[in-house]
Amino acid sequence: MNHVTPLLPWAPELNGAAPAAAPARPAPAAGEAPAPRQAPPPVPPARRAPGFLAGTFLAIRLAWRQLRSEKARLASAVAGVMFACVLVFMQLGFRAALFDSATQLISAMRGDLFLMHPMTTASFRPEPLPRVRAHQALALPEVQAAVPIYLAQATWRNPADGSRRTIQLVGVDTEAGVLDFPGLAPLVDALKRADTVAFDARSRPEFGDVARLLAERGPFEAQVGNRMVQVVGLIEIGPSFGADGNLVLSETNFRRIVKERVVSAIDLVAIRLQPGAEIEATRARLAALLPADVIVLTQPELVAWERRYWEEATPIGFIFAFGSLMGLVVGMVIVYQILFSDIAGHLKEYATLKAMGYSNGYLRRVVLGAALILAGLGFVPGFVAATLLYDVVGAGTFLPLHMDAERALGVFAMIFAMCAAAGLLAMRKLRDASPADMF
């Protein structure tokens, strides 16, 4: 048994160092490989553990090797994360599209200040204010123009098949330059004629293919409410959740269609100030001048008012938030299942690692590393799929669905948090990996 075996090149017998006389191994500097022929001391000193970063790298590499070894399981985990990712992207996309489209009409109105009845909840359901407020606003020298706007909904008869749908009417003095929609400028003169309207080319297709009819026949007759009007041109606004389509027409034509509307009851006043006038100061003076049945808003405030209605007064904001949350929960359950079964299937191996001196913290980093690898692997295809879906669904629903960097980062953070939470839950299973039960 004392024969020197050639198996161990660093065995003490080979370099003549008796085990007892072997010098304690000096702690090697980081990165320095120990001399291969150095004799290991009989009782090695406690080794320096790897630094946190190096240890984390090794833990994540172990996690990746484990994930990689079971391709089918990895694929189902990645598919689960991807599913959650797409779901959240779509929900957030719809939510943002709703708010964007709901305020599209308001955003298109050009004006320095707006007067609105304080009880107006949203533009499609306005509370009228007296038309005289528009004239009263002109009392201030800073006010260059004050233009009343009428808003109402009426039914539009589809010129192709005769079906009727509700459409948003915007009645305004089109010459005043308060409303600015793409395509409106060349129609200003045509809209002065009796019973003429400009149709929103981005309205939903259920209103009929007005653009094609217009191209084929030129201006043509269509029924709005109980009146025949002439469609003279196309503008672009876009549908919202409040209205599927829009018509822009002059004040007079508006009153011809909405007969029950009193002339003096208007819905909004757009105010243009003299060049160089202070918006905030003028607003304060207007608010002091006018009675309490109007509030004075800047355009961003008006947009925010409209948006707040959709966020707070309807369940829609909540619905999409809830949908996003459900997506995250489902994704978390899938990731948790995968991680849990990975741990449960490798309990002996994990316990062995513990017996070898790996700490609980290291094994937690392995599990967390696996979760975060899944987050990354699932997010990339999820992001690509959601971007494609935005285009397809946006084209189908006429909703403004766009991928932007802010949302992408937000969803990545959510997916990351989702996987981390799943990892933290799955870690509890590590407690079952007890090295004492190994023998």
Interacting residues with another protein (CB under 8 A): 1-2, 4-5, 7-13, 16, 18-20, 27-34, 36, 40-44, 46-51, 54-55, 58, 62, 65-66, 68-70, 346, 348-349, 351-359, 435-436, 438-439
Nearest residue (CB) to another protein, 32 versus 312: 32
Minimum Å distance from CB 364 to another protein? 13
Rounded Cα gap, residues 255 and 171, in angstroms = 8
Give φ, ψ of 332 to 5 degrees.
-65, -40
Coil, helix or strand for 282?
Answer: helix
Structure tokens given for 248: 């822009």
How far is it between the farthest Cα atoms of the chain?
117
Q: Which is nearer to another protein, 26 or 186 (CB)?
A: 26
Closest contact distance (angstroms) between CB of 348 and another protein is 5
DSSP 3-state of 199 = strand
The Cβ of residue 391 has, within 10 Å, a number of other Cβ atoms equal to 12
In the complex with another protein, which residue's Cβ is closer, 33 or 405?
A: 33
Work out how close the CB of 97 gets to another protein at its nearest, in angstroms, rounded to a whole number. 44
d(CA 220, CA 27): 92
Work out how close the CB of 385 gets to another protein at its nearest, in angstroms, rounded to a whole number: 29
Cβ closest to another protein, residue 67 vs residue 152: 67
Residues forming beta bridges with residue 266, ordered by sequence position: 129
Give the shortest CB-18-to-another protein separation in angstroms: 6
Please report where in the chains the tokens 């503008």 appear, as a residue: 235
CB nearer to another protein: pick between 44 and 162: 44
Between strands 129-130 and 196-200, the pairing is unpaired
Residues 6+ apart with CB under 8 A from 298: 112, 113, 114, 279, 283
Minimum Å gap between C-beta 419 and another protein is: 20
Q: CA-CA distance, 384 to 395, in Å (whole number)?
A: 17
Beta carbon nearer to another protein, 190 or 347: 347
270 contacts 178 by C-beta, under 8 angstroms: yes
Residue 86's CB: how many other CB atoms inside 10 A? 22
| DSSP label of 202 | T
Nearer to another protein, 36 or 186 (CB): 36
Least Cβ distance, residue 79 to another protein (angstroms): 21
